[in-house]
Amino acid sequence: MKKIIMIAISILVLALAFAGCQTEEDSHPVEGSFTFTPDNYPRMGGSLAVLPLGEAITASALSISREETADYILFENSTTWNYEQLVEGNFDILLAYEPSEEAIAYAESQNFEWEMTPIGRDALVFIANADNPVGGLTTQQITDIYTGQITNWSQVGGNDSEIIAYQRNRDSGSQTLFDLFFPLGDQLIDPPEELIVDSMIGLLEAVADYDNSENALGYTVYYYLTNMETDKLSRSKILAVDGVEANNETIASGEYPYVNDFYVVIPADLPDDDPARILYNWICSDQVKELGERENYVMLDAVNQSV
């Protein structure tokens, strides 16, 4: 009898030891009984400013560290490029800002349809060097600057210095937002090549650090500047627009004029049991809303309503 009991205890110990090897880092249930693992986790891409949210989601879904999420997600290149990769099947899911006209046209040319739900809100902000005495601009002044009608800071209450107005590359998310809020078309000034910056960090560096940066003007998305590149914010400043300062409260309320949503995006018509669909539905939930708020995003109320 004692021998039987000892055998039973040994089996139980082995079973517990084996169970202990199945750590939360190996797999993690997210919705219902479904379990995400490194083998079935959807390939995620997206806009750079949504990277912290992508890391938080992936770390939670797979129960891994933030550093380890780099093996499963890629938030690089332009927003347009990310949408193109979704169309081509190289990504399964995106966390991204508004698609550009080029991205929409490319999807249509491939007879591809995506499904997208807004999950958070950000803003296009205009930035100047910290030493610039101008604290804000009006919508009309911004329009006049980027159409070449205002060329000197003294015309908007600043020093007698030429305005060096930077722009972003055409396929960037920042430029897509600028074109959305300022549909200037052919009236948009055609700047010299050195005033077209192909990265968000490059634009921030131009306004904060480069030669003649005191006279620079540029634009970027609020979250990236205030949460991901805070050292640049110490040498630059966000300009109020029409008397309204950009912050989480004015972005959430829509009081700040240049507010836009960001989205979770998947190919349309995925079946309910597809891992990308399951992840998509979870990202639209209250649980991920709370994750985003911890990362200081302005998150929308959880809804499962696509646009």
Q: Provide the 3-class DSSP secondary structure of residue 234.
A: coil
Mean pLDDT of 194-215: 85
Q: What does 128-191 look like in DSSP terms, one character per residue?
A: EETT----EE-HHHHHHHHTTS--BGGGGTS-S-B-EE-EE-TTSHHHHHHHHH---GGGS---
Tell me the pTM: 0.84
**CA–CA distances in Å: residue 29 to residues 16, 32, 39, 65:** 20, 7, 14, 16
pLDDT tens string 61-117:
999 999 999 999 999 888 999 999 999 999 999 999 999 999 999 999 999 999 999
CA distance 131 to 124: 21
What are the residue ranges of CATH 3.40.190.10 in the chain?
A: 25-121+261-299, 122-253
CA 73-79-81 angle, to 5 degrees, is 80
Mean pLDDT of the chain: 87
Does 214 score more than 60 pLDDT?
Answer: yes
Question: Are residues 129 and 214 in contact, defined by beta-carbon separation less than 8 angstroms?
Answer: yes
CA distance 256 to 146: 20
DSSP tag of 228: I
CATH class, domain 122-253, is alpha beta
What percent of the chain is predicted at pLDDT more than 90? 74
Instruction: Tell the burial category of 230 from Cβ atoms under 10 Å away from its Cβ (0-12, 13-18, 19+).
Output: exposed
Classified by CATH at the fold level, domain 25-121+261-299 comes out as: D-Maltodextrin-Binding Protein; domain 2 (3.40.190)
Reported as a pLDDT band with limits 50, 70 and 90, residue 211 is low
Tokens matching residue 232: 């640049």
